[in-house]
Amino acid sequence: MNIILLGPPGAGKGTQARHLVETRNMVQLSTGDMLREAKDSGTEMGKMVADVMARGDLVTDEIVIGLIREKLEGDNKGGFIFDGFPRTLEQADALSRLMADEGQTLDAVIEMRVDDEALVARITARSTCASCGEVYNDNTKPIPADGKCSNCGGTEFTRRADDNEESLKTRLMAYYKQTSPLIGYYYAKDMLSVVNGLGAIEDVQRGISEALGS
């Protein structure tokens, strides 16, 4: 099963993607991770990515599609999770063509819908384990009293520099301008399911599982 996770920054897409990887043996395709991996790979595509990033230019849709193509041609295990792509209608069309070329289908699109004010309040309280990426929140899931990550035992925690109210509002504006049209796009294709992204992690997991038909 191949799916897209849609939602603004901080909606919890990464957390839910990790759960799907663990429970369904899916492969998470995060644009940022793919670019970093390609840059260090030494392949022709990797050299192209490294050159673009070294110049400070934006990576083109063609490059991202090329990276996704390479992944699709590998072992898909339990299917792919597209996280961070597509972001625009043009990218959605390009992904649709790519899937058809590779003889694969896009089976579901999950929108993790949030309330903006609640999201800002949640993200400005967020910390991340520097070792494993486990996410904590000052209000709803504080760092354990012993100062150790409950997942890996790490003791170093970080806050993203842009996890502040002003930066978040800028990122939300970019999301709504660029990516929110995809909601109507996939709704028209009868592929969209909506899950409350601000629910408890287990409730979100349950909502996604129901949307995927199990």
Residues 6+ apart with CB under 8 A from 176: 8
* Segment 9-33, tens digit of pLDDT: 888 888 899 899 999 999 999 888 8
Please indicate whether residue 159 is annotated as part of the active site.
Answer: no
* Segment 33-63, tens digit of pLDDT: 888 888 888 788 888 888 888 887 778 888 8
Q: How far apart are CA 45 and CA 159, in angstroms?
A: 32
Are residues 180 and 150 in contact, defined by beta-carbon separation less than 8 angstroms?
Answer: no
Indicate the Cα dihedral angle 112, 61, 181, 119, nearest 10°: 30
The residue annotated as part of the active site, out of 24, 71, 87, 159, is 87
The residue annotated as part of the active site, out of 18, 24, 113, 171, is 171
The residue annotated as part of the active site, out of 24, 113, 141, 160, is 160
* Segment 103-162, tens digit of pLDDT: 999 999 999 998 888 888 888 888 999 999 888 988 888 999 999 999 999 999 998 877
Please indicate whether residue 36 is annotated as part of the active site.
Answer: no
**What one-letter code names the amino acid at 13?**
K
pLDDT of the residue at 80: 95
Please indicate whether residue 113 is annotated as part of the active site.
Answer: no
Please indicate whether residue 55 is annotated as part of the active site.
Answer: no
**Bridge partners of residue 111, in order along the sequence:** 6, 194
Residues 6+ apart with CB under 8 A from 107: 1, 2, 3, 79, 191, 212
* Segment 171-199, tens digit of pLDDT: 888 888 888 899 999 999 999 999 998 88
Please indicate whether residue 160 is annotated as part of the active site.
Answer: yes
Range 84-100 average pLDDT:
92
